[in-house]
Chain A
């Protein structure tokens, strides 16, 4: 349920030329007059400090997480949070995370991968199909669809979770993986993004050319439209991936069988163990599990960075 916009913002920082690092730009004749041009942004101490603060704000929790994964359960309580404890227990923590409770963590990891694969993958595919159709075809009711999509973007998924639960329980789908996958398939924001993107990215002339050359609509979509849509698709894929990967509330109310838990629920159940009479606190495993949980997301962002940056920028300049 995390909002895609906030997740994207720290990583999108490098896309802009950072203020104050324009040493290679041609020198102005009068260095003392601090006039600025788009090619040479004015240095600003304030902005640099603010950016630095934001970077710290984003990275310190991560640093804490990385440092804490090297500590034992006792070490966590007994040492300063932002520095290492005596014994280095990282490998031990990782292996215990994967073997604790008969290796249920692996099961949760695979579940999450399945929910992300089917949910986010499916959501992206549907968004691309729908966005393309809305952008490139005229049909009655298009404005109504627009209104519905915009309206749906405004409704947080959390608000729909309980009605969805009641509906799904009537259909007998609760406590099955479908209860998580099916709602994840719908991404109004993704659809809207693809719609806007497709309008800009695919010249209608190109489609007409394809049609004149005898390509059917399906072929035009897959061979002409899809390659042009790739950057936008990656953006939507990343957003839906993050949303599904971090999904907590929906599985929380839909799933009762721990065998179908995604990582988010599983880690929470380990965390809750500490607050149970007779339960064993395993904060070290919760922390290590959390680190392992965010690694794939970080990898996805770094690897796909190039694509989605161009995807975000594509709609911004009007030619």
Chain B
């Protein structure tokens, strides 16, 4: 095991220095060696004040920072947007390997947390009292930030999945809104037949989407136990997903438009993309990015694999963590708790964020909020139900950032060639196994 860890640390490249750096910091034996930080310590630090550096791209944090600084005038919070997801991880890993300029608080998505936690790049927040927050969050996000007794981050938002659909398009072509994935394929065919410009959805191969689909289908491709990892894309759940998706691919029922591009925004606006299955944080993007289709869209539960089921999964969502090499620990934790468990949550919900806190998810005000964009629909009811139905036994790889980066070169082939999605996933699996083994993980196929 120590040998493994050492090889692992050397191998992860830039991330390795993260582990070595943390070792020098003395948190080598894991969370237990960290000192307990009492609430009084934190209060004293807040009174004393200081400057806090936060690396995050979440737009609603701006308001949270303003509120926090108002409440604790001695603290100066500097938020830097160092890039979104993978860019931010490159920046964070670089800073950690250089051991300079590491932020005090960093936004990390759930899928990437494992990588930093395993290499001891993050502080365990349990000694600060984060372990007592277990009941505060819905199961999906909480499971994503904890490992054993350690709490590596506080969930900031969640992405319980839902299906957004363009009601105008469905009404116009008199197509039934799908409740199961089989109906989804039928709807895709019907829409294409009615108007060849209309696609059921866009997909050019997206690792986050694929893993979420697997999650909902009951597949558990990744099993992680310390440095022992198992990768297997051949279980029954994965087969359900690949068989259905293969139909969509074979019949060219998916628009060849990559998500988050201008073409994608265009498609969401002009009715050529009829549905979007994604996380519940999407309404904010609809409101600001697809203004011209206001009133056309509605939210619906995710289509099911078996009619009548209520299975769901998470897509996206991120947490705030304290990098081990950051400073001002007490302030950093105080800010993280304020933003993700305290008053900041309300400010962020107002800003359009989707909370991970159960109390907010179940509050009347939240559940009954009407979305003018969705024609006055009380969409949060659907999202909150989805959040409650997320299976909490999913885990990502401890090097998911890398794995996702090679998705398009492996599984993505299914989108552009005769390779089937099942074969594509197999080659993604092989490449992930190979990389993991090179990094010193014990990988089982």
A contacts, CB < 8 Å to B? 73-74, 76-78, 165-166, 169-170, 172, 174-175, 253, 256-258, 269, 272-281, 283
Contact = CB atoms under 8 A, between A and B. Distances in A.
A257 B281 contact: no
Contacts of A166: 98
Nearest to A281: B289
B80 A256 contact: yes
Given A77-B270, A272-B84, A277 B262 contact: no
B289 to A, nearest CB: 4
A94 B182 CA distance: 49
B406 interface: no
A258 B60 CA distance: 17
A273 B289 CA distance: 10
A258 B292 CA distance: 31
B206 to A, nearest CB: 12
Interface in B74-109: 78, 80-84, 87, 91, 94-95, 98-101, 103
A275 B83 CA distance: 11
B352 to A, nearest CB: 5
Residue of B83, B262, B282 most packed against chain A (CB within 10 A) = B262
The 3 closest A-B CB pairs, nearest first, are A77-B266, A275-B260, A280-B288
Nearest to B352: A278
B380 to A, nearest CB: 15
10 contacts: A77-B262, A78-B269, A273-B59, A274-B289, A276-B58, A277-B157, A277-B282, A278-B284, A280-B288, A281-B289
B16 to A, nearest CB: 14
Interface in B262-292: 262, 265-266, 269-270, 279, 281-282, 284-285, 288-289, 291-292
Contacts of B279: 277
A277 B83 contact: no
Contact of A277 (B95, B98, B99, B284): B284
A253 B80 CA distance: 14
B11 interface: no
Nearest to A280: B288
- A contacts with B: majority SS: helix
B351 interface: yes
Contacts of A169: 95, 98-101
Nearest to B81: A269
B84 A275 contact: yes
Given A77-B262, A258-B80, A258-B81, A279 B59 contact: yes
A199 to B, nearest CB: 42
Interface of B: 55, 57-60, 78, 80-84, 87, 91, 94-95, 98-101, 103, 157, 159, 260, 262, 265-266, 269-270, 279, 281-282, 284-285, 288-289, 291-292, 316, 351-353
A78 B270 contact: yes
A106 B87 CA distance: 25
Residue of A256, A269, A272, A280 most packed against chain B (CB within 10 A) = A256
Given A76-B262, A165-B98, A272 B83 contact: yes
B257 to A, nearest CB: 12
B254 to A, nearest CB: 20
Given A74-B269, A172-B100, A279 B285 contact: yes
A276 B57 contact: yes
Contact of B285 (A256, A272, A277, A283): A277
A170 B80 contact: no
Given A74-B292, A272-B83, A281-B289, A256 B55 contact: yes
A241 B435 CA distance: 42
B266 A256 contact: no
Given A166-B98, A256-B103, 18 more contacts: A76-B262, A77-B269, A77-B270, A78-B266, A165-B98, A169-B95, A174-B98, A174-B101, A253-B94, A256-B55, A256-B80, A273-B59, A277-B282, A278-B352, A279-B288, A280-B288, A281-B262, A281-B288
Given A274-B260, A277-B279, A175 B266 contact: no
A276 B59 contact: yes
Contact of B84 (A172, A253, A258, A276): A276
A76 B265 CA distance: 10
A253 B99 CA distance: 14
Nearest to B90: A253
Contacts of B100: 169-170, 172, 174
Contacts of A253: 91, 94
B175 to A, nearest CB: 24
Contacts of B60: 278
A4 to B, nearest CB: 28
A175 B288 CA distance: 32
B59 A278 contact: yes
A170 B101 CA distance: 10
A258 B81 CA distance: 7
B265 A272 contact: no
B101 A278 contact: no
A76 B270 CA distance: 12
B225 to A, nearest CB: 31
B167 to A, nearest CB: 20
A269 B159 CA distance: 23
B106 to A, nearest CB: 11
Contacts of A278: 58-60, 281, 284-285, 351-353
Nearest to A272: B84
Contacts of B291: 73-74
B288 A277 contact: no
Contacts of B270: 77-78
Contacts of B58: 276-278
Contacts of B101: 169, 174-175, 256
Given A269-B81, A272-B87, A277 B266 contact: no
Contacts of A277: 58, 157, 159, 279, 281-282, 284-285, 316
Residue of A74, A77, A277, A281 most packed against chain B (CB within 10 A) = A277
Given A78-B270, A170-B100, A274 B94 contact: no
A77 to B, nearest CB: 4
Contacts of A175: 101
Nearest to A269: B81
Contacts of B282: 277
